[in-house]
């Protein structure tokens, strides 16, 4: 389920979705990190699911002392309306017994 940061959900109709394939070496996640960082995409929400291994960490895109205290979780959504681009960054592996449920949750959003 998508949970917006600012209360109101943005409209992603007509946007291109970019998301990594969670794999060995985290190459997909690193490529998506590069896109988010290079385009300076703001976080617009997160994807809540119990199909991913829970995790929390520091803001990977921190540029100042103030935003370095923000937390990052396992599935966050970033958007750049000027380029009609939305990115779902997945930072943890799927829980195998729940993985099929996750794909159906994503398509319902």
The pLDDT tens digits of the residues spanning 11-40 come to: 899 999 999 987 778 899 999 999 999 999
Q: Which two tokens stand for residue 9?
A: 């959900």
Cα separation, 16 vs 36, in Å, equals 14
SS in 3 state form for 36-50? HHHHCCCEEEEECCC
Neighbouring-strand partners of residue 84: none
For the chain, list the domains and their CATH numbers: 2-108 (3.40.50.10900)
Cα separation, 77 vs 28, in Å, equals 15
pTM value is 0.83
The pLDDT tens digits of the residues spanning 1-13 come to: 888 988 677 889 9
The pLDDT tens digits of the residues spanning 32-62 come to: 999 999 999 999 999 888 888 899 998 888 8
């Amino acid at each position: 389920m998508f949970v917006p940061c600012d209360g109101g959900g943005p409209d992603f109709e007509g946007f291109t979705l970019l998301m990594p394939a969670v794999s060995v070496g985290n190459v997909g996640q690193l490529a998506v990190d590069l896109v988010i960082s290079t385009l300076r995409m703001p976080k617009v929400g997160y994807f809540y699911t119990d199909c991913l291994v829970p995790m929390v960490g520091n803001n990977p895109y921190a540029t100042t002392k103030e935003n370095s205290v923000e937390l990052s979780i396992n599935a966050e959504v970033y958007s750049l309306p000027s380029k009609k681009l939305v990115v779902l960054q997945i930072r943890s592996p799927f829980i195998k017994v729940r993985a099929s449920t996750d794909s159906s949750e994503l398509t319902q959003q």
